[in-house]
Amino acid sequence: MVTESGIGNGGDIEIVTDTLELLDGGTLSASTRGEGNAGNITINSQRNVDLDQGEISTGSSSPAGRGGDISVTTPLLTLINQSEISTQTVSSDGGDIALAIDDLLFLSDNSLISTEAGTEEAGGDGGDITINTQFLVAAPTENSDIVANAFDGDGGNVNIIVTGGIFGIEPRPERTPLNDITARSRNGISGTIAVESPDVDPTENAAELPTALTAPDVIQSCREAFVQTGSEFVVTGRGGIPQGPMDPASAAPWQDVLPIETDAPSPPEPESTVDPDEVDNAVVPVPIAEAQGWIVNEQGQIMLVAEAPQEVTVGQLVTCRG
């Protein structure tokens, strides 16, 4: 911390480091309490700058003293738990704040980035704030602000350029309990706020999915022309017709298919243990045949038959849906 009393300007602070942490009330200051301007603070960190109840500040208690400038360059800058980066003056112009953050600037829990002028209801223009980052994120409804305000003088200008997006904070005419970006002057001319972010519509080029369900269909199988020697019942779902009756991914709960012919020799028939003399007196069961069609007998009755007569004209095509 650099603090000057009497007459003179505050000294400058320049830090080049891998990581900078200001925790539990840690302060980095280049202010003056005498007749002069505050010093400047320049920080260049290779990895991150973390403030947790920490403060980086410049300021002047002199009516004519100007606030010092603050510059921070780092991939990641976080301000949490009432942390602050600020430059303030009593009645003169506030200093400027420039933040060049490669990846993320994160604010939470009443943290503040401020260049205020005329803190004792006097003159002086607010300083300018310039932020370049990929993402600017503020925890919702935690009253973290970016301000370039003034009292009698003009408000400062806030220029924010984000290449990824800005979330949780937005420009407003004045500070609120929410996360605000302001450049207000109480009695003078308010400053300007310019936020440049990618105009991305999350619904752009979104594919519309079907809302209506497709009803299952029953498909009639196709056999060779002129001959239908078996039956088949196939249920197809939304995925379409199964690749084959043996496909494990098939949605059909039941299928009745014909035996698959192969060139393998048939197994030998087992020897009969029945006495030939008892065959004539034995009751031979009638095999059950699967119905293949129906006919109308001479009495006009409909009868299911195992072999359906089929009259086919030569050259006629058998049509089916499959």
pTM (two decimals): 0.60
Instruction: Tell whether the model's pLDDT for residue 206 goes beyond 70.
Output: no
What is the spatial distance between Cα 229 and Cα 216, in angstroms, rounded to a whole number?
Answer: 26
Instruction: Tell whether the model's pLDDT for residue 235 goes beyond 80.
Output: no
What is the spatial distance between Cα 115 and Cα 157, in angstroms, rounded to a whole number?
Answer: 10
Domain boundaries, the chain: 2-196
SS (H, E, C) 99-166: EEEEEEEEECCCCEEEEECCCCCCCCCCCCEEEEEEEEEECCCCCCEEECCECCCCCCCEEEEEEEEE
Quote the pLDDT of residue 322.
44
- pLDDT tens digits, 66-111: 778 999 999 999 999 999 999 888 777 788 999 999 999 999 999 9
| Cβ-count burial 304-321 (b if 16+ within 10 Å, e if not) | eeeeeeeeeeeeeeeeee
**Mean model confidence pLDDT for the chain:** 77
